[in-house]
Amino acid sequence: MIRVENVWKSFKGKVVNEDVSFEVYEGEIVTFLGPNGGGKTTLMRQVYGELSSDRGTISVDGLTPQDALESMGVVPQEVRPMDGLRASEHVYIMAVIKGVPRDRAWSRARGLIRKLSVEDKSVEELSGGNKRKILIASALVNDPRYLILDEPTTGLDPKSRRELWDILVELKGRGKGILLTTHYLEEAEYLADRVYLLNRRVLLSGRIWELRSKLSLKYEVVNLMTGERFHVERKEVPHFLSQCDFEYEVRTRSLEDIYREVMGSDG
């Protein structure tokens, strides 16, 4: 498991991560959400060992991040694939660098390119979304135990995004531990076993239904004829509905409602 305990990180005296703790177990997807500048990338970079922490500890299966690089596949937020290579060559080279035997590296690289529906042409000729898929394939190529993906679906079209979601769910089913950041709340709603809302510190965390109950957010009853919305306590819902003389729909609060409630004007 990845275990992050009471981690702090500052840049030039400004605290960016304040006392952050969390775990990622094998076979689950943990998702970090938060505003721009909220400290997600800084935190991910510490988990995969690119930055050191000022205080606190990070371990990956009991090892320091630097000693556990082989067990982590990483897609950083701002990295482009190398030009001058075909898509499959890029993934192949990353496989060889990561120690995959050469005979297996080709079949893995080609298989991933096919699975992610990327045309196998020169990297510089690919669209932005397809370039991201090259990075994702490169992260997956040595079949690491953990995946750390910093906004992996930014710039992907809806079909590609859904394909990646399916791949992540499949990988989770095969026991991978996945740590993900995103600005797409529907992505977190679809994928995340546990969500962390981060703005410098962790403001709220848990399974989505736990977040709802922690905030005791009311249910929303919508008058389908007028669009009028009513916010009703859970236990009041049956009584409220019995009084309705209009067509209605009852909604639980979405992750977006939770996010807005927690981040307030900061998010």
Ligand X SMILES: Nc1ncnc2c1ncn2[C@@H]1O[C@H](COP(=O)(O)OP(=O)(O)OP(=O)(O)O)[C@@H](O)[C@H]1O
- Contacts with Mg ion by CB under 5 A lie at 40-41, 77
Count interface residues toward ligand X (CB under 6 A): 12
Sign (positive/negative) of CA torsion 244, 249, 250, 254? negative
Residue 77 is a binding residue for ligand X (CB under 6 A): yes
Of 126, 132, 130, nearest to 75 (Cα)?
132
Of 65, 143, 137, 164, nearest to 99 (Cα)?
143
Question: Rounded CA gap, 267 and 83, in Å?
Answer: 36
Place of tokens 């992750």: 255
Query: Between 20 and 39, how does the x/- string for binding to ligand X read (CB under 6 A)?
Result: --------------x-xxxx
Shorter beta-carbon distance to ligand X: residue 58 or 221: 58
Chosen from ligand X, Mg ion, none, partner binding at 37 (C-beta under 5 to 8 Å by type)? ligand X
Name the minimum Å distance from CB 35 to Mg ion.
10
Name the minimum Å distance from CB 150 to Mg ion.
6
Shorter beta-carbon distance to ligand X: residue 150 or 257: 150
Shorter beta-carbon distance to Mg ion: residue 42 or 142: 42
Give residues 187-246 in contact with ligand X (rule: CB under 6 A).
none
Name the minimum Å distance from CB 222 to ligand X.
31
2, 20, 31, 40: residue in contact with ligand X (rule CB under 6 A): 40
Name the minimum Å distance from CB 111 to ligand X.
31
Instruction: Provide the token pair at 1.
Output: 């498991």
Question: Rounded CA gap, 207 and 178, in Å?
Answer: 15
Shorter beta-carbon distance to ligand X: residue 118 or 139: 139
DSSP per position, 172-240 = HHTT-EEEEE-S-HHHHHHH-SEEEEEESEEEEEE-HHHHHHHHTPPEEEEETTT--EEEE-GGGHHHH
Name the minimum Å distance from CB 22 to ligand X.
15
Q: Which DSSP helix (H) or strand (E) runs through 16? A: strand 14-24
Residue 130 is a binding residue for ligand X (CB under 6 A): no
CB 71 within 8 A of CB 146: yes
Shorter beta-carbon distance to Mg ion: residue 77 or 205: 77
Name the minimum Å distance from CB 228 to ligand X.
35
Single-letter amino acid code for the residue at 107: S
Give residues 41-60 in contact with ligand X (rule: CB under 6 A).
41-42
Sites of contact with ligand X (CB under 6 A) = 11-12, 16, 34, 36-42, 77
